[in-house]
Structure 1
Amino acid sequence: MMNEHSINTVIPMPKVQVETRVIGDVHAFKGQYKRFGYPARFCLYYVDGLLIDTGPPHARRAVCGWLEDKPLDRIVLTHFHEDHSGNAGELSRRHKVPVLMGGETARILSDPPRLPLYRRVVWGQMDAVSGRTLSDPLETAKHRFRVVPTPGHTADHVAFVEEEKGWLFAGDLFLSNRLIYGMRGESVPQLIDSLRRVLAYPVQTLFCGHSGVVSDGRSALEKKLRFLEWLREESCRLADRGLSPREISRRLLSGGKMMEWVTLGEFSPVHLIRSIVEKRG
């Protein structure tokens, strides 16, 4: 049987497929590689000297290469997860620029937790990062971003809205119109509140941390909100009839079993249902 050390050493670093595009002032980077036959996707955004999220450690070479010809002033993080913060320390050192993040993100990344094995294999273990605390608004030479707390995916999650342009840099707030599983600790009620919060701004273009650029971002966010509101309503109705969270997840959320097995339960449909029924009044 392979131990953790041998697993980490025999699996080579992935070959990252890169797609880049420019939307107005925004340079978008979409990276993809495979682990366990599953496409690991991530997106980064550069605008006016500001880098929003940094990608996973396993894609460090590709990310650093993309930024070589770009004048970098600051790095900002939406949340602490390794596929968003994984290259922050290295890029900060290379470019001699600060990393900006929320207070809770900074606390976690000052001494990051040892990740479960599958996350180290898929994304890589992030290093400790020190930086500065975000303040609202976040301004560059040409743009002004509102820093919007958007918990739900994680407690420390924030998003960035450029009101004049109608841009939302959403981190992992959106991901897709529907969810078939959630991460342990993810909260559907908080996601609903966060989606309503960003929709109070004049958002048009959505820059997602995994899905990429969504031109009709407002419509996509509204669809996600309607789905989560439906999921909450139906979950509460079934819970009132005496069904367990596991039974409810089987009725309302199809798929996700392979992800639950691979992640040893860290990702599962039942986490979404539990976040609803355990908090209902």
Structure 2
Amino acid sequence: MRPLAPGVHQLLGRPPHFMNAYLVEDVLVDAGTPAARRRITRQLDGRALSAHVVTHAHPDHFGSSHALCERYDVPLWAGRRDVEAIETARPVPAPGLLPALLAKMPMPDPHPVARGLVEGDEVAGFTVLDVPGHSPGHIALWRDHDGVLLCGDVFFNVLRPSAPPRFLTQDDERNRESMRRLAQLRPKLVLFGHGRPLRDPDRLRRLVG
């Protein structure tokens, strides 16, 4: 695991930074695809976990959630408006033909959500922010005292910071609003679902204008 800030570690993956999961104190944030289970357990075995948080109900983020919650006997938490999608393993697709076809592909195992997170909830010293658009119940985690932001897929940072692909985004305009909201925080460290960490508080603001 790679330490990034006090109490915050990035789990290692192959290729690096392609599909990220994080350990925040004793809470696992996101779980990749079903194929990520082994690499995640290799890094978590022997550590005490209290919960697992999913930033949003897409299969590359809750793909191993069922297996990991069972293995470590921890509850699953997610944004309240994404609970049904995780419990039924039926994410809300983006508009269009391609997203409809993607929605018919095999999905990860469903898992019951023990806690539906809402704006202002606390998770391991971070505040939950309601940032819908990429999915209906997308959440971010924000730590105000040192400016650390786990933004999920509100932004991507593959090659450069950007919006997530439209064909994967349920409501592009709402996601743009969420991008603007997070950029206004001027985070000192941004941790993405996809891409390298970013330590430039003005980069996101330049992106959203």
TM category (shorter chain) comes to 0.7 to 0.9
Distance 1:139 1:159, change over 3 A: closer
Report how far residue 181 of structure 1 moved. Answer: 4.4
Higher helix share: 1
What SS class does the counterpart of residue 85 from structure 1 fall into? coil
Q: Which residue identity is paired with 1:127?
A: D
**Match in the other structure for 2:80:** 103
Change (3 A) 1:184 1:101: closer
Q: Secondary structure at the match of 2:61?
A: helix
Larger RCO (alpha carbons 8 Å, 6+ apart): 2
Closer, same or farther: CA 225–117 of 1 in aligned 2, 3 Å: closer
Q: Is the 8 A contact 1:45 1:51 kept in 2?
A: yes
Instruction: Give the match for residue 17 of structure 1.
Output: none
- The equivalent residue for 1:41 is 18
> 1:43 is paired with a residue of what secondary structure?
coil
Q: Does the aligned pair in 2 maintain the 1:89–1:127 contact within 8 Å?
A: yes
- Give secondary structure in 2 for the equivalent of 1:170: strand
- Structure 2 residue 14 is matched with structure 1 residue 32: yes
1:155 counterpart residue number? 136
CA, structure 1 residues 223+128, in 2 after alignment: closer, same or farther (shift >3 Å)?
same
Deviation at 1:117, TM superposition (A): 6.3
1:202, CA displacement in angstroms? 5.0
8 Å contact 1:100–1:134 — kept in the other structure? yes
User: Which amino acid in the other structure matches residue 109 of structure 1?
Assistant: I
Letter of the 2:62 partner, please give it. Answer: S
Q: Is the 2:122–2:128 contact (alpha carbons within 8 Å) kept by the matching residues of 1? A: yes
The 2-side partners of 1:139 and 1:185 are apart by 25
Counterparts in 2 of 1:41 and 1:93: CA distance versus 1, 3 Å: same
Tell me the distance in 2 between the aligned counterparts of 1:40 and 1:125.
Answer: 23
Question: In the aligned structure 1, how far is the partner of 2:87 from the partner of 2:37?
Answer: 20
**Aligned-pair RMSD on alpha carbons?**
2.6
Aligned residues: 195
Name the TM-score, length of structure 2 as normaliser: 0.82
Alignment deviations for residues 66-120 of structure 1 (CA, whole Å, 9 cap, x no partner): 1113211111111000111111111111111111112221111111139956995
Return the match for 2:206 from 223, 226, 244.
223
Structure-2 change in CA distance of 1:163 and 1:193 (3 Å) = same
Q: Which of structures 1 and 2 has the bigger CA Rg? A: 1
Matches within 5 A, 1:28-177: 28-32=10-14, 41-113=18-90, 116=101, 125-131=107-113, 132-135=115-118, 136-140=120-124, 143=125, 145-176=126-157, 177=161
Q: Quick one: which of 191, 195, 199 aligns to 1:207? A: 191
CA distance in structure 2 between the aligned counterparts of 1:62 and 1:118, rounded to whole angstroms = 26
Q: Distance in 2 between the 1:152 and 1:62 partners?
A: 29
| Deviation string, structure 1 residues 41-75 (Cα, Å, up to 9, x no partner) | 20111021011111110121111111113211111
Distance 2:2 2:121 in 1: 26
- Structure 1 109/183 Cα, relative in aligned 2: closer, same or farther at 3 Å? same
Identity over aligned pairs, percent? 26
Relative to the length of structure 1, the TM-score reads 0.62
| Letter of the structure 2 residue corresponding to residue 31 of structure 1 | G
The question of 1:22 aligning with 2:3 is answered: yes
Distance 1:70 1:105 in 2: 28
Letter in 2 for 1:160: L
* Distance change in 2, residues 1:117/1:32 (3 Å): farther
- Following superposition, the deviation at residue 163 of structure 1 comes to 0.6
